[in-house]
Structure 1
Amino acid sequence: MGVFVLGSINLDAVARVDDLPRPGETVAGLSLELFLGGKGANQAVAAARMGAPTRLMGAVGKDDSGASLKVKLAGYGVQVADVAELSGAPTGQAHVWVSNGGENMIVVTGGANMMITPQQVAATALEGQRVLLAQLETPASAIEALFKAGAAKGGLRVLNAAPALPQGAALFPLTDILILNQTELATYARLDHEPAKLEEVSKAARKLMSRPDQTIIVTLGKTGVAAVRRDEAFLVEGRKVKAVDTVGAGDCFCGALAAGLAANLDLREAVEQANAAAALSVQKPGAAPSMPSKREVEVFLEG
């Protein structure tokens, strides 16, 4: 059973700096590299690297960047037949600054990613797709169409509600598994601080549930990952690693989780696997290039 990802595809321009700039400050870049990126692409690569048959639906511009990114995606094992090349919009871009400490700041321009329509999604065959995974870098109307169509096909609907946008909350009732980080949880739950302890995270997460069968997963950085259901919650502790680049770590988690669920792992096993994959990803530069293979994750978990 496969993973179907609806999401963004970007050209990431990653500049390394000693320290992230403050408002109004100019800093010298240490290096500049171009990578395949976008939450949809990153998550699709992560799922494919973890061994799941993975299809990506999205859009790029009919430009050199778009053609190149499709080739790179295919090279990672992602099926790209559902990626449209549009002449009316440029390929999406992300401008990323990464400090020596591994922290990052990102500005995204959506371009072709924002041109995906509900009609395109509705016309797509979803048979055999165990997990339907989306984020919020494509139109909410297209995600809604995917989740409604997927429910009829028995797919497990997973939403990574990032970035935290107001229209994202309208998709929560259509979602089986909702993935957030601490900042996004605080935004959607309208908290004045980011919850850190499991009890506080669970209380905030349950505010967002609209059905008793939903699961909310909250990534907590170095602390680990909390999984919250209506009647239970558990924490998978973070793994101690030296972070080189945290760009794409959340996407790695989402894609690896989808792959685990598509392979019929239970929730705790899937979360543990995805947590390990994310820990491995921060030890390499870039987003898509840092996604580990299934074998690398297995060796890491055995160690």
Structure 2
Amino acid sequence: MISVFGSANMDLVAYVSQAPKLGETVTGRAFHTVPGGKGANQAVAAARAGAEVTFLGAVGDDGFGIALRSTLVDAGIEVSALRQVPGASGIAHIVVDDSGGNSIIVVPGANGTVTGLTGDDHALISASSALLLQLELPIEGVTAAARAAREAGVQVVLTPAPSRPLPAELLEAVTLLVPNEHEAADLTGASDAESALEELLKLVPEVVITLGSQGALYGSRSGERLRVPAVKVEAVDTTAAGDTFVGALAVARSEGLGPEEALRFASAAASISVQREGASTSMPGRDEIDAQLAAH
């Protein structure tokens, strides 16, 4: 079982030809309300890729909270540890331009209340093969979850987004760190991915740096270094690419695939998601991922 301790947001997505500059108003071509949040996205990605998944986090007692819970349940995800708290659920305001690029503003809402673990959270994490973490929950909650996983011998996969300094106590519990190239640069100050990789491996045992259309770079303290190319497709919406990649990567690793095979599996999944609009709605099923791998 893969557990995900993370955020659930309702994504408010506006599609435009070109994102507005400061003080500018532009006309959009479409608007969608789509369940998302980095935690929920990774959970859906992992479930659709074939894993048994449980989700730990919080939603509000509003309509968005009902919809977010339903989305996770419909994906086959266990939600017994998804708390409901008074007030608003988290939202993300997303602008997507015609190149598929995006800019995002996150308002935490209920996610901001998850500052620690319940007894049920501890039990679910301890029973997992891997714990997926991101940084859209309060850092004290993320650190507590990572520490619980480490104490139970569970692999900890951290996506350091939104980018911020990482406390030593959190890094000490991380098995695999998966930043994109910008987050890797923020964490290390390095100007290129290869240098950032070497710096990050001083902090954690394994690192994958995602490079968008340039693929992904992997390294481990054992000395292994890999660069896996991305599957070449025409991107429509890259909003969920990173979360799809991480969810699928966790599944591949849990199934015993080696680093190169796992990265190719994750890249195939991400390549499908970017060809579709939305976050959780864009994520592929296992049959689709297998077909994409076979085709490339």
Equivalent position SS for 2:129: strand
Looking at structure 2, the residues matched to 118 and 37 of structure 1 have their Cα atoms a distance apart, in angstroms, of: 22
Partner residue of 2:195? 203
Equivalent residue letter for 2:294: E
The 5-angstrom pairing of residues 1-303 of structure 1 reads: 2-87=1-86, 89-120=87-118, 123-125=121-123, 126-167=125-166, 171-191=170-190, 193=191, 195=192, 201-210=193-202, 214-230=205-221, 231-303=223-295
TM-score normalised to structure 2 length: 0.95
CA apart distance, 1:112: 0.6
Equivalent residue letter for 2:279: A
CA apart distance, 1:23: 1.7
CA apart distance, 1:67: 1.1
Q: CA-to-partner distance for each residue in 1:13-50, whole Å, 9 max, x for gaps?
A: 11110111112211111111100000000000000000
CA apart distance, 1:208: 2.3
Q: CA-to-partner distance for each residue in 1:97-119, whole Å, 9 max, x for gaps?
A: 11111111111000110111324
The question of whether the paired residues in 1 share the 8 Å contact of 2:188 and 2:199 is answered with yes
CA apart distance, 1:169: 6.3
Give the 3 Å change call, closer, same or farther, for CA 123–255 of structure 1 in structure 2: closer
The question of whether the paired residues in 1 share the 8 Å contact of 2:99 and 2:236 is answered with yes
The question of whether the paired residues in 1 share the 8 Å contact of 2:5 and 2:56 is answered with yes
The question of whether the paired residues in 2 share the 8 Å contact of 1:121 and 1:142 is answered with no
CA apart distance, 1:206: 2.0
Equivalent position SS for 2:12: strand
Equivalent residue letter for 1:106: I
Q: CA-to-partner distance for each residue in 1:178-200, whole Å, 9 max, x for gaps?
A: 00001001111123x4x2xxxxx
The question of whether the paired residues in 1 share the 8 Å contact of 2:58 and 2:113 is answered with yes
Give the 3 Å change call, closer, same or farther, for CA 214–259 of structure 1 in structure 2: same
Looking at structure 1, the residues matched to 181 and 156 of structure 2 have their Cα atoms a distance apart, in angstroms, of: 21
CA apart distance, 1:232: 2.4
Equivalent position SS for 1:41: helix
Looking at structure 2, the residues matched to 255 and 168 of structure 1 have their Cα atoms a distance apart, in angstroms, of: 24
Equivalent position SS for 1:166: coil
Structure 2's unaligned 5+ residue stretches are none
Partner residue of 1:198? none
Equivalent position SS for 1:245: coil
The question of whether the paired residues in 1 share the 8 Å contact of 2:147 and 2:170 is answered with no
Q: CA-to-partner distance for each residue in 1:75-102, whole Å, 9 max, x for gaps?
A: 0111111110001x31000001111111
Q: CA-to-partner distance for each residue in 1:162-219, whole Å, 9 max, x for gaps?
A: 111124665222211000001001111123x4x2xxxxx23222212346x7001000
Identity of aligned residues (%): 38
Looking at structure 2, the residues matched to 101 and 93 of structure 1 have their Cα atoms a distance apart, in angstroms, of: 23
TM-score normalised to structure 1 length: 0.93
Equivalent residue letter for 1:181: N
**CA RMSD across the alignment:** 1.5
Range with bigger deviation, 228-237 or 101-110: 228-237
